[in-house]
Structure 1
Amino acid sequence: MFRQLFLYILVMCLPMLAKSQEVITVNVANADHTYNLPINVAINPQLTIGPSGTGGMVLWEFAAAFPGGAAPLGGGDGFVKDGVQVQLPAAENVPISDVEKVIISGTPTQPGSWSFSLRVTDQATSTSGTRTFEVEVTQSLDLVIVLDRSGSMLSPTSANPGAPSRWNALKEAVGGFANLYQQVTVNRNASNRLGITYFATTPAPASVCCNTLKLVDATLATSVGTDIDNVAVTPVPAGMTALGAGIKSATTVLSDATKARSILVFTDGEQNQNPRVNDAGTGYNDGTTIPGGPAAGGIKISTIGIGSPSAPFHTVLLGLATSNRGSYNTTLDGTNFEFQGGLASGDLSMGFMVQFVDMLSQFSPQIVTTAFKALPSSGAVPVETFPLNKKVDKLLLEFRVGRKLEIPQLLQVYRGIRIEKDGADVKRYAQPTWVGNYTNTLLLTIDFKRSPEGAPLLNPAGTWSVQAADSGMNLRSVNLNVLADDHRMHMKRTLGNLKPKVNDKLPITFTLDKLQLPVTDADVKCVVLRPGEDLGDVLARSDKNIKPDGADSASSGVQKYNKLWETDSAFRALFKPSENIVQLTHTVGGKYEGTFDGLSVAGVYKLVYLVKVKNDTIGEFQRTFSESVYVTFSGVDLSKSDVSTTIQNGQLVMTFRPMTSYGKYIGPAMGPGFAVSNNDIKIAGVEDHQDGRYTITFTGAIDQPTKLTIVGQEIYSGKLENAGKSGSFIDQIKKWLESIGLPAWTIWIILLLIILLLWLMFRKKKP
């Protein structure tokens, strides 16, 4: 009876034992093996690796360097990496019986992928076998999208006739985002979840599908599309912009610290409701903090902005991203533009896709390339050709055409698409998906671990090409975004200046590794798209002021910008970006470095990273991604800013037109950026005159000294009544000289001439 029970238990355990044991066979080529390990779960039973084809004593050794961050074991027989221990049965190259095994044990503590290679040699025959083992530590992701549905979201995305409202563009972008999240998660991260928070004057209304976290399954994209459609109808977007309350609401949902947690924030206007996020993006004006931070384990926050000239607006969103391990993307109006490298940059959907990649960077999706092409009414058009590297899990091709379509028309678009790999048609491997019944976006997914019935598995490595045809549907254009689901290659960038100002330097560091072993032979460039003009200065000098309408309490400066952008093509043309290429140079350990020294105007700069590698191990690798950086003005010269102060009914009223030391007005839309350091002095109101001039009313202890700042930059220190005034005779002469058109330095020539005349007069009077 006992023997039968033992045999039954052994048979039942055989699958588990087989799963936990691997072998390296000598004198043959051994295929790579991947271990999929959940984070914070002990490896039980322990995993083992043994030799095969040997006859007694063997020698073990590591055939490649330890992965980055691994700590060697004291006995010289292995290493520990993020809680996982890999231990040989003896020290390297010390003979031991071939019945002893390599043991993998411990508890994984960090998500990510890494590898190690082992070689075992039969001592009697000197034949050996080598095998690479990949370790993929997975962690589920809880993600909340925080969406602005204030009144300004009904504004058009651009000046183009028939341009959709910002809300309609947002619907398409969020639907595409949900579809990508669904396709990447399916068959990979079974417990990923998604939530949605809407905000206007308050965080409302509650999402029907995703007010609590919804498990990502095959219904996710449809549920999200239906949800945002319903929110647009009852009620329509309206109200103020409670950014802080929206983020607070999202953080309360992300309570499970055992999971990776992320927030994606989208807004198109300045926050104007309490609690307000501080400029650093670390907390709120009510004294509470955001549970994010630079360390892993906190909530990661990525941000998207649209359509604002306001430094406070961009500063807050950039601060939220840089302080909480995320990235910032913004666009002036939500429309496409291209640079010569081919990346369609600026589109709202593109911004969501870039942030999708950033938030899931520890999981795998990466942008291979993007393309934007006009479509003639007949004939197929080559859209893009690109290389794909080895061992990619999925390829995702997102097509967005120039107008929305019903499903039968969308299927006609699908029929007009041709996908080739190394010259062969492989479209049958692509599974189409879309969101809703009326859309401009089609996603094709190729899963390299699965194939259509009767077809062999498709190898991702090779040259791919995509064509599209209009087929008489008046599509006008097609935007193709190509993503690779590739958990082996890791990319990370670091900006050396998180709060850049005009004339600063912008150091850029980029690291690249394959399974946490450095890649040292890559070509890495950063294309810096610099605005054509200083936006604040151009707005200040424009005489086309508008009558504010009070919508969403947007400042008059913001409304002036929106009106000019919608109606003045010459104004828009001023900000066409110039391309500036920074070649990053490899320094050490897969790290590439460079510096951009051309921050010559204030405004939004787009950074586009282009990465290429070609070698026998990786194959041909190509990736790109982008982010935004807001560059603020640098210093205000009050002597050039026409400052005047008066006392009225116990309040101090200051009027001035802030100008920088390099001759540019900081411009309108800066009202929320003014602050004082003295808690006994309050800013009662700021009037934005749209030409860069402001009237600020101060109350409280106005006779006490304080510091006056704009967006964190000190512009005056002392009693406010004395701002812009000088008790110095020399300073008054300087101001007078500048008022008559002479440079301030001419005072020294005048003083020298006066001294010379006095000396000559003194000499003549001497007997």
Structure 2
Amino acid sequence: MKKLLFVMLAALVLTGSHSFAQSLSFPISPTHPFTTLEYFFTHEDSIRAGTADIGIVPGGYTGIRWTLSPDGTYTGFNDPVTGELSKCIIKGITVELPPNATTTSGAAETAKLRIYGIPETVVDDIIVSFTVFAINVANGDIFGSAKVEMIIHSPLDLAVVLDRSGSMGSNLDGTAYVAPPGQSRWDYLKSAVAMMADHLNGLSKKKYELISLNMFADYSGSIPAAAPYNTLSLIDMNASNLSSLSSQNGALSAIVPAGSTPLGNGILQGRDILLAPAVKLNRHKKAMLVFSDGEQNMPYEVLQTGTDAWKKTTNGQWLRGAPTDPQIKIYTINLGVSGSAPNTMQSIARANGGTPVNITVEPGSGKLDSVFLTSFTRQLPNIFKGSSPQVIVLRNATFPNGQPPARVDSFIVNKGASSVIGTMMVAGAFKPRFISIKKDGRELLPFVKQRFDSSYLNFSISFPNNFLQGVTGDGRWEIRTQLDINPGVVQPCTFMVVVDDHALKSGFTVAGAGLKVGQSIKPSATFTYKGNAITNANVNFVLFKPGTDVNDLIARRSAPYYDTLPSDPVSPGISKLKYLMRDTSFVNAIRSQSTVYPLPYDTVTKSYTATISGLNVSGVHQGVFLVNGTANTDNTDNTYGTLQRYHSESFYVRFPGIAVAASRPVYQYNPAGGFNRALIFRPVATNGKYIGPGWGKSITLESTGIGATYVQDTGDGYYKLGISGAFSGNIILSIAGEQIYAGPLSALQTVPGPKTDGKSRTKK
């Protein structure tokens, strides 16, 4: 008999809270066509026997025996008579053939393959896969086979925590506190959250997950959005609730930014939502996604110094629960480039199991900024840890000045992707419209779901599709988009594609916390398809770094006038930056510079990696991985198709250390006697750059008998630290954990100073 192989995919996904039995048969025979079946199961402590049993056909045939062939490592049990594998345990899941299946008489027609057990881990998605073979005893040929893949998915509880402070009414680059209509940071934030919700809604197999939303702008940190997000609790992540995050008429649409930045209180509210008694023990992954655009200015703040820095608030509360039970991982998104805020938000994420994203806005005041719009969506691969979803395309482009303005975008999807989501971002009133969506030449436009928001249009489609029998997501896609209104000039746009992919997993690392100028990074990327490493991809790493140290430049440049928002005070450096961003020479000096580094495959670490030096400037850096195709000449591979990925990651590079002699403080005393004494210093790094403004809350004074009473940030790199206590005492003065001075206070140069009330003052 001629060997025949008919492969069937049966995906078993644990995602819900309602169990039901399923009984479907393997179509194993020489004449049965290729079939794709999907199975949906509950997320429970175990897969109960009976819920995953699948009938095998043809049972009872004379001269047919059955055997299992697991993928990956397993524990096997052989039939004592035939020696054939009859039961295996894969990652905690037991797969068992029915009695007599391995004998030559075959199994009965009613016999079923049993699948049951408790997965080893549900922290990340895992795939349990095996093949069942029907073998012709007479000649040993394969009569037929069925491939089974069980995708075990751990549902997600996601708490979204948003900064609703007064500074969110500013324009993107901060040059104006009141932005033009539709161009404020809050407007962009609403669109970014809506885009993330669209992607969560368009991803397959994400049923029964939960989401919440709270905002911080006052002492409580517990400001609710409109319904259905007004309960300050987790709600179903279903289509209706996700669509309620539309920027045009959703739960955030009528909210106006105002207030301060109590970052710590906002995080604690998100923590309490995720750890509420009703959901704490539901065995879901728990993630918190925190956005802020400024510096903390209201208690309780997140600690920036000490043993528990970045893990606790100043009143001793743990950001993600007790350290012995850290269920929550915190992912941060920060808007801004100066002061200590980028380092603060990065450090919070790194210290609490998450990943930071920093939004660096090039000056342009009000123009479309795709880095902001895509920031929440780009965090989803980090939250879901490399499998489902994954960004495969993110490109800045243009619509030509034509009639009508139209463009074509193409990309390739690898095998195994179950959903494809494409998004076109265009600023202003030039509404984009998809006029064709083709996959391998076949028009899919009538079968996709579309949604338009104020700044973008997207489509989504899942596979298998009831209306497209036999069509899969892998292959070459071509998207034609046009604008309904002709701008009359070349119009910037951004195109992004995300796929839901459990089989092809990606892993990316760039750098850890605490990087300093002068150090190196070793970016790394790994790719596996159904557990097997992919070794022939083409991977490039693009490093974007600041043109110069922005904090040093702010300290050195003069600004004749700068102010701050009374309701949302920031450091003088941020206020000063508002005016400096209007200076073309300043803007050109801080613009990012990019360098491309190829990442060869390392057979020892089984990753694409290289060591990159040249971190010679402090500030926010961005790393982008570009993965295009494979090493094959035709850019394809028969196993997983063509691999295409895009991944970006932010990291902050801090000043290298303190030049102690150049930073030595001066002791200022009150000539009238009594109190109002201070230390005045302008810390400079060992590379000659000023630490600059915005780091006041990281300044510490350790001493017995001498205490700190206030910190005044003057905006030019100078700090004034009020002190009390004995003049003869010893002190240790530090900034961001770096020592500035250690020794007796009496050894410092002394200067007389005017009387002061010890309060921070901003130039007017």
2:320 corresponds in structure 1 to 291
Give a deviation string over 1:703-754, Cα, whole Å, max 9, x none. 44343222222333333454689xxxxxxxxxxxxxxxxxxxxxxxxxxxxx
**CA distance in 2 between partners of 1:695 and 1:463 (Å):** 61
2:653 to 614, 620, 631: 631
**CA distance in 1 between partners of 2:500 and 2:679 (Å):** 56
Given the alignment of the two structures, is residue 254 of structure 1 paired with residue 274 of structure 2, yes or no? yes
**CA distance in 1 between partners of 2:493 and 2:301 (Å):** 39
Given the alignment of the two structures, is residue 358 of structure 1 paired with residue 402 of structure 2, yes or no? no
Percent of aligned pairs with the same residue?
A: 25
2:23 to 6, 18, 22: 18
**CA distance in 2 between partners of 1:317 and 1:42 (Å):** 38
1:458 corresponds in structure 2 to 471
1:481 corresponds in structure 2 to 496
Shift, 1:74, TM fit: 11
Query: What letter is aligned with 1:177?
Result: M
**CA distance in 2 between partners of 1:198 and 1:477 (Å):** 32
2:699 corresponds in structure 1 to 674
Alignment of 1:145-184 (within 5 A): 145-158=160-173, 164-184=183-203
Shift, 1:304, TM fit: 0.8
Give a deviation string over 1:454-476, Cα, whole Å, max 9, x none. x5553322222223223434293
Shift, 1:633, TM fit: 0.3
Given the alignment of the two structures, is residue 597 of structure 1 paired with residue 616 of structure 2, yes or no? no
Task: Quickly say closer, same or farther: Cα 1:659–1:308, change in 2 above 3 A.
Answer: same
Task: Quickly say closer, same or farther: Cα 1:680–1:631, change in 2 above 3 A.
Answer: farther
What RMSD over aligned residues (CA atoms) do the two structures have, in Å? 3.5
Shift, 1:501, TM fit: 0.6
2:482 to 457, 462, 469: 469
Q: Which moved more, 1:363-372 or 1:49-58?
A: 49-58
Given the alignment of the two structures, is residue 719 of structure 1 paired with residue 744 of structure 2, yes or no? yes
2:447 corresponds in structure 1 to 429
1:563 to 539, 563, 579: 579
Shift, 1:426, TM fit: 2.9
Gaps of 5+ in 1: 1-14, 338-343, 726-767
**CA distance in 1 between partners of 2:506 and 2:692 (Å):** 38
2:148 corresponds in structure 1 to 133
1:43 corresponds in structure 2 to 47
2:347 corresponds in structure 1 to 319
**CA distance in 1 between partners of 2:429 and 2:723 (Å):** 52
**CA distance in 1 between partners of 2:621 and 2:163 (Å):** 23
**CA distance in 1 between partners of 2:357 and 2:511 (Å):** 18
8 Å CA contact 2:392–2:497 kept in 1: the answer is yes
**CA distance in 2 between partners of 1:232 and 1:431 (Å):** 23
Query: What letter is aligned with 1:359?
Result: I
Gaps of 5+ in 2: 1-19, 80-84, 631-635, 751-764
8 Å CA contact 1:401–1:477 kept in 2: the answer is yes
Secondary structure of 2:214's counterpart equals strand
Shift, 1:104, TM fit: 2.7
Task: Quickly say closer, same or farther: Cα 1:36–1:681, change in 2 above 3 A.
Answer: farther
TM-score by length of 1: 0.80
Shift, 1:271, TM fit: 0.8
Task: Quickly say closer, same or farther: Cα 1:58–1:478, change in 2 above 3 A.
Answer: same
Shift, 1:488, TM fit: 1.7
Query: What letter is aligned with 2:237?
Result: V
Give a deviation string over 1:169-228, Cα, whole Å, max 9, x none. 11221222222222226xx33312221111112325322321322323332244223798
Shift, 1:387, TM fit: 0.9
1:309 to 338, 354, 372: 338
1:505 corresponds in structure 2 to 520
Task: Quickly say closer, same or farther: Cα 1:680–1:169, change in 2 above 3 A.
Answer: farther
Task: Quickly say closer, same or farther: Cα 1:482–1:681, change in 2 above 3 A.
Answer: farther
Task: Quickly say closer, same or farther: Cα 1:356–1:497, change in 2 above 3 A.
Answer: closer
8 Å CA contact 2:387–2:504 kept in 1: the answer is no
**CA distance in 1 between partners of 2:690 and 2:731 (Å):** 23
Alignment of 1:147-546 (within 5 A): 147-158=162-173, 164-184=183-203, 188-202=205-219, 203-209=221-227, 210=229, 211-225=232-246, 236-255=256-275, 256-257=279-280, 258=282, 259-279=284-304, 280-291=309-320, 298-311=327-340, 313-333=341-361, 347-361=371-385, 364-375=388-399, 376-404=401-429, 410=431, 413-414=432-433, 417-435=435-453, 439-450=454-465, 452=467, 456=469, 458-474=471-487, 476-495=491-510, 497-546=512-561
Task: Quickly say closer, same or farther: Cα 1:560–1:717, change in 2 above 3 A.
Answer: same
Secondary structure of 1:481's counterpart equals strand
Give a deviation string over 1:270-289, Cα, whole Å, max 9, x none. 11122211244322121221
Query: What letter is aligned with 2:411?
Result: F
**CA distance in 1 between partners of 2:696 and 2:127 (Å):** 49
TM-score by length of 2: 0.81
Q: Which moved more, 1:505-514 or 1:81-90?
A: 81-90
Shift, 1:526, TM fit: 2.1
Q: Which moved more, 1:494-503 or 1:643-652?
A: 643-652
**CA distance in 2 between partners of 1:176 and 1:423 (Å):** 28
2:12 corresponds in structure 1 to none
Q: Which moved more, 1:707-716 or 1:97-106?
A: 97-106
Given the alignment of the two structures, is residue 105 of structure 1 paired with residue 116 of structure 2, yes or no? yes
8 Å CA contact 1:86–1:103 kept in 2: the answer is yes
**CA distance in 2 between partners of 1:594 and 1:295 (Å):** 36
Task: Quickly say closer, same or farther: Cα 1:345–1:116, change in 2 above 3 A.
Answer: farther
Shift, 1:346, TM fit: 6.1
Give a deviation string over 1:292-319, Cα, whole Å, max 9, x none. 69999711211111124012x1222112
8 Å CA contact 1:27–1:127 kept in 2: the answer is no
Quick check: which has more Rg, 1 or 2? 1
What is the count of residue pairs matched by the alignment?
A: 683
Q: Which moved more, 1:204-213 or 1:391-400?
A: 204-213
8 Å CA contact 1:536–1:667 kept in 2: the answer is yes
8 Å CA contact 1:146–1:198 kept in 2: the answer is yes
1:764 corresponds in structure 2 to none
Shift, 1:347, TM fit: 2.3
Query: What letter is aligned with 2:106?
Result: D
2:626 corresponds in structure 1 to 610
**CA distance in 2 between partners of 1:393 and 1:357 (Å):** 15
Task: Quickly say closer, same or farther: Cα 1:457–1:724, change in 2 above 3 A.
Answer: farther
1:86 corresponds in structure 2 to 95
Query: What letter is aligned with 2:713?
Result: D
Shift, 1:90, TM fit: 11
8 Å CA contact 1:146–1:197 kept in 2: the answer is yes
